[in-house]
Amino acid sequence: MLGERVYAWARAHASVVDVGGALALAGVGMANWAVVRAPVGFVVWSVLLALPLVVRRRWVVGCAAAVLVVAIGQWVVVGDSLGVVPGDLAVPVVVHACAAYGPRWSGRAALVAGLVGAGLGGVRWPMLPTSTWAHVVTAGFLACSVVAAWAVGSLHRARLGQVAVLVDRARLLEVEREQRDRLAVLAERTRIAREMHDVVAHSLAVVIAQADGGRYSGEPVAALVTIAEHGRQALVETRRLLGLLRAEDPGIDDVPGLVERVRTGGLDVALHARPVSLAPELGLVVYRIVQEGLTNVIKHVGPTATAVVSVRKVDGHLEVDVRDNGTGAVDPTGGYGVIGMRERAAAFGGTVTLRPAPGGGTVLSARIPA
């Protein structure tokens, strides 16, 4: 709207508005003097009252002090001869400036000084012989103009304060949004890192085990076939990751196929799983835990090991175990794979542990609320 555009322009060019207003007020006094041939003091006092308004927003207190001194001088020196001059409009203008832009004490002080000046003006003006009521009405009119200027200035200060609060709130919201976006990116990067580790590490472990086995076995062709199958599977899942992990996530129903592929690769692995209905996100966690467990068996125990995968639901919790018959010390912290499994499980309030199994071997165990 036109009014909003004018207000925006005035705020952006405050100094121009102040200078223009002061010159216009002084010009009115000069024009009045030229038209009605008023005394020279009419022009002098109008200009002296108007000029401080040039800095009414930059130096509020100094402007108010200058206007106060000039107004007192006008009342004392020529109040009986000149009466009111156009420059006296500087008084309510400077009261408004103190209330809107100056320190809070300056607004109250300007209000008191303006009211006192209104009373003094009522005493001197009108200069014609009139009744006491005329002086009272004049003083009341001047006082009302001062109070109105102070009230408008106070409202303007409150509005500026609200704008400042809104600007600061918008800035904080922008910072918060940027932080949320950054955290979302980091979370997605962590998710992709887990997926890449699970897919690539598992497939490469099988490929390496088959390649090593094919070197010493009498069936290198079978080993190459298995390597090709796992390579294709790794390529399919890598392409899925490059598709931003949005579709075709494996779930608990894909665990038998995963076990079968590992079994085909030469690892003696058994699966004990009961039919369980899970959300797709939780099904992906189960699939990755089983995949990580079998990958660890292949890497750390070897293709001659035996493993048992167990998936069951007990007392409202989903329990997933991958047990092997290997030997050697167990690092309970695990590597990046186990860290990733713990992050996945923790997202659903679950835990993942890596510990020695009773009777020998290692067990990767997960317990997740279902």
Residues 128 and 187 in one domain: no
What does the alpha-carbon distance between residue 317 and residue 122 come to, in Å, rounded to a whole number? Answer: 88
**Averaged over 321-333, what is the pLDDT?**
72
Residue 204 lies in a domain: yes
Where in the sequence is the domain holding 277, given as residue range(s)? 183-369
The answer on pLDDT for 245 being more than 50 is: no
State the chain's mean pLDDT as an integer: 79
Residue 6 lies in a domain: yes
Residue 8 lies in a domain: yes
What does the alpha-carbon distance between residue 54 and residue 21 come to, in Å, rounded to a whole number? Answer: 8
Q: What is the pLDDT of residues 12-59, one digit of tens each?
A: 777 787 777 778 877 777 776 666 666 777 778 888 888 888 888 889
Residues 143 and 205 in one domain: no
- The answer for residues whose C-beta is within 8 angstroms of residue 256's C-beta and 6 or more apart is 271, 273
Residues 244 and 357 in one domain: yes
**Averaged over 334-352, what is the pLDDT?**
82
At residue 244, the pLDDT reads 46
**Averaged over 169-198, what is the pLDDT?**
77
**Averaged over 200-225, what is the pLDDT?**
63
Instruction: Give the model's confidence band at 219: pLDDT under 50 very low, under 70 low, under 90 confident, else very high.
Output: low
Residue 178 lies in a domain: no
Predicted TM-score (pTM) above 0.95: no
Domain total in the chain: 2
CATH number where 355 lies: 3.30.565.10
Residues 225 and 207 in one domain: yes
Q: What is the pLDDT of residues 106-131, one digit of tens each?
A: 889 989 988 888 888 777 777 666 77
Domain boundary among 145, 173, 201: 173
At residue 324, the pLDDT reads 87
Residues 341 and 361 in one domain: yes
Q: What is the pLDDT of residues 276-319, one digit of tens each?
A: 788 888 888 888 889 888 888 887 776 677 889 999 988 888 89
**Averaged over 208-227, what is the pLDDT?**
63
Residue 295 lies in a domain: yes
Tokens of 199: 């897919």
Residues 131 and 221 in one domain: no
Instruction: Give the model's confidence band at 332: pLDDT under 50 very low, under 70 low, under 90 confident, else very high.
Output: low
Instruction: Give the model's confidence band at 242: pLDDT under 50 very low, under 70 low, under 90 confident, else very high.
Output: low
**Averaged over 327-337, what is the pLDDT?**
62
Residue 129 lies in a domain: yes
> Of the given ranges (77-86, 169-178, 287-296), which has the lowest mean pLDDT?
77-86
The answer on pLDDT for 243 being more than 60 is: no
At residue 155, the pLDDT reads 92
At residue 358, the pLDDT reads 81
Domain boundary among 151, 173, 195: 173
Q: What is the pLDDT of residues 192-209, one digit of tens each?
A: 766 666 666 666 666 666
Residue 349 lies in a domain: yes
At residue 147, the pLDDT reads 92
**Averaged over 67-71, what is the pLDDT?**
87
Name the one residue in this structure whose structure tokens are 């390579």: 231
Residues 33 and 141 in one domain: yes
Residues 9 and 156 in one domain: yes
Name the one residue in this structure whose structure tokens are 């200060």: 157
**Averaged over 234-261, what is the pLDDT?**
70
Domain boundary among 149, 173, 197: 173
Residues 159 and 195 in one domain: no
Residues 208 and 142 in one domain: no
Residues 249 and 121 in one domain: no
Residues 207 and 354 in one domain: yes
